[in-house]
Amino acid sequence: MAADIKDIILNGKTFLGIELGSTRIKAVLIDETHNPIASGGFDWENRLEDGVWTYHIDDVWKGLKESFAKLNDDTKNRYGVSVTKAGAIGISAMMHGYLAFDKDGKQLAQFRTWRNTMTEKAAAELTGKFQFNVPQRWSVAHLYQAMLNKESHLKDIAFFTTLSGYVHWKLTGKKVLGIGDASGMFPIDSSINDFHKGMLNTFNGLASGMGYSFNLEDLAPKVLCAGEDAGKLTEEGAKLLDPSGGLAAGIPFCPPEGDAGTGMVATNSVEKRTGNVSAGTSIFAMIVLEKPLSKLYTEIDMVTTPAGMPVAMVHCNNCTSSLDAWIKLFTELNEITGAKISKPALYDALYNKALEGDGDCGGLVEYNYYGGETITGLDEGRPLFARFPDSRFTLANFMRSLLFGTMGTLKLGMDILTEKEKVSVKSLLGHGGLFKTPGVGQRLMAAVLNTPVAVMESAGEGGAWGIALLAAYMALKEPGETLEAYLNKKVFAGNAGSRVEPDAKDIEGFAVYIKRYEAGLAMERSAVSSLR
């Protein structure tokens, strides 16, 4: 088997996917059967500098080089050869944010990530003008806020893009973006698979009225759909990714995509009435729609699949950070008592303990708000845990309240789709850190959303695998073969994952919890205004 894979690598019959996530950059190499055969990674963290959540561009390239180098080391150790060519490469990264450059490619401002909530005025004004929800983290909201602030760098702006679009540009020389990632820059018209022309005209009119001479379509990358040719690795790009010189130029690239799109692909959630829930540092659910929503909801983002189909997204900034902080306390307890339990084992033990708790968490409630949440109208957050004097304060109830707390805001947003818009969902695919402990996050999420939740073993490979699949689709698809058909027939082949149905007692318990959660949001608002 190793000898066969060695030949595959030497002959370039592989596909490389690299995703720049919020805490890890990961590279995955797959074969023509879409199975991962090697990987490498690099841990990184965003920085809060001058009130802006950002990553340094130097760290982007350091992480990309190290991820590829570790993947290369993995292939050498496993198969005795290096990666010098591939059938295609794909780049994915966190959606949204703002990266601006002048005509010579010089960066003009800090990279402003999805985590920032500094564009409230811009987002509100654009939402009103477009009659289309423009969230604060969208690229156009950052651009328009810079215009409102009269930032000096705008006099030199010639190009703006997302993180995946930036990396792709530097590796290929092409200023393009996959439609899923592009839908987090500016509203998309799915009838033409491009930026919405009427809204572009509206924006350009606003810009002209403020004294700016640029047109948005000239600043933004070209929109491409899954399967389209997005350029080739240049000599300069090859050296950026592999300074050793082993990687050959000329490798084709698929359109760069956002982490939402690669999550859809990795969970086979690109058909109508399918959806997925990604639960890690942030949490979001995406449902592929059969028809447009009846009206504008500021709580719902409208994005697209990598093939351009409309998707309703409920996005929450906060998920596991508070939960992880609490578990870190237990880790410290282990250390001072000399207990020898690994971090994964500790997580498993505490997660499973939650299943022993009362359905409603015994009167406990937890708010995981490290940052603000648009859905609940908070620009800032304060992690907060509360209980009644007579609450059943047990470890099981405590852990259950932490897990329910990661899902509370998501539930409030999803109710708009399921109750007000009557959106029908066959099932949801779960992926991300919240689902690592088998059965626990999956069971509770099914109860919270009152929808079957499935988890696939392959989804553990995450977005890097998803963008590698998109690279393979571009190279291997048959004429006229859609992305949905390719994934169904050639990647997942009927594998729907391990499915859990909602449990009636869990549903009943969470219904009590979420009423308490909604009522207690007043505490969270007070904490934000009082704790300074």
DSSP assignment string, 12-59 = T--EEEEEE-SSEEEEEEE-TT--EEEEEEEE---EEETTEEE--HHH
What pLDDT is recorded for position 442?
Answer: 96
What pLDDT is recorded for position 224?
Answer: 98
What pLDDT is recorded for position 461?
Answer: 61
What pLDDT is recorded for position 460?
Answer: 53
Per DSSP (E only), the strands in 175-267 are 176-178, 188-189, 194-195, 222-224, 257-258
- C-alpha angle 224/228/230, rounded to 5°? 75
What pLDDT is recorded for position 528?
Answer: 96
Using DSSP's 3-state secondary structure scheme, residue 406 falls into: helix
- C-alpha angle 457/257/193, rounded to 5°? 120
Domain architecture of the chain: domains with CATH: 96-161+186-219 (3.30.420.40), 268-318+415-500 (3.30.420.40), 321-405+503-530 (no CATH)
Could you say which residues of the chain have pLDDT below 50? none
Backbone angles phi, psi at 335, to 5 degrees: -65, -45
What pLDDT is recorded for position 1?
Answer: 56
pLDDT digits (tens, 9 = 90+) for 79-119: 999 999 999 999 999 999 999 999 999 999 999 998 888 99
Q: DSSP assignment, residue 105?
A: -
Using DSSP's 3-state secondary structure scheme, residue 198 falls into: helix
